[in-house]
Structure 1
Amino acid sequence: MPAETHDETTAHRARQIVDQMMAHDAFSQWLGIEVLEVAPGRAVVRMTVRPEMLNGFAVAHGGIAFALADSALAFASNTCGLVTMTLESSVFFATPVRAGDVLTATAEEVSAGNRVALYDVVVTRADGTRVAFVRGTVYRTKQAHA
């Protein structure tokens, strides 16, 4: 049996980190997030918007799409192997989200230094409509994931 390549080992470790994070992330679990894909510097997650997530206008509270994107950002940025936290993020809501919508957030690393990295997250509906865009800056601590 051939030995794992460096890329396979890195991808496997990234998935382990995200699985461990998700196992302890009560909020992402409450949202109903499913982790679809993990790779170094990348994460794809999905959830379905529930009626209790709607505001008084019968559209999803903006915090719902942002929270999904924030979880994707957290998962993607921690794949580097160091405990990483968001310093700042901004969101643009492109179109309303409603109960029953299945949302997917794709977070990807744009740029990274030793301690600070930049990520873009795109949130889409199942039909491919882009509903939100998030840009986040993260700080990588010196603490390695266990």
Structure 2
Amino acid sequence: MALLTDLLITLSYGVIGVALMSVGYLLVDIATPGKLHVLIWENRNSNAAVLLVSNLIGVGIIVVSAIVASHDDFIQGLISTLAYGLLGLVLMAVAFLLLDAVTPGRLGEILVQPEPHPAVWVTATIHIAAGAIIAAAIS
């Protein structure tokens, strides 16, 4: 019975993690011109892929930290995982908008250019750092 309970708890956290990563995907899709799936899977745009990957890593860091921090209370753990995950996505979006405001050109357009662009690494670092900041605050 304990194994079944643990599996259901794990599944619950997994569903929340995948849902948060889906929201992250949608936010990156909104921030970049064109359809993200076309940019990455059809056009093989590495800039768009790095941007998405960094967002997913940032969300993953937050979800893992929230799960670890809530090992004693399942319901509270699910709620805090969702809340911290959403907060992390908001922080990533705000950081993206701030970076866009202080850099030349439209950041979304720059990040989906077919040739590699260093701005994608700056933006990727912001996504991962935002995830790490939220994760550190959870502990």
TM-score, with structure 2 as normaliser: 0.35
Query: Is the strand fraction higher in 1 or 2?
Result: 1
Which structure has greater helix proportion?
A: 2
Higher RCO, 1 or 2 (CA under 8 Å, sep at least 6)?
A: 2
Question: In terms of Rg, which structure is larger?
Answer: 2
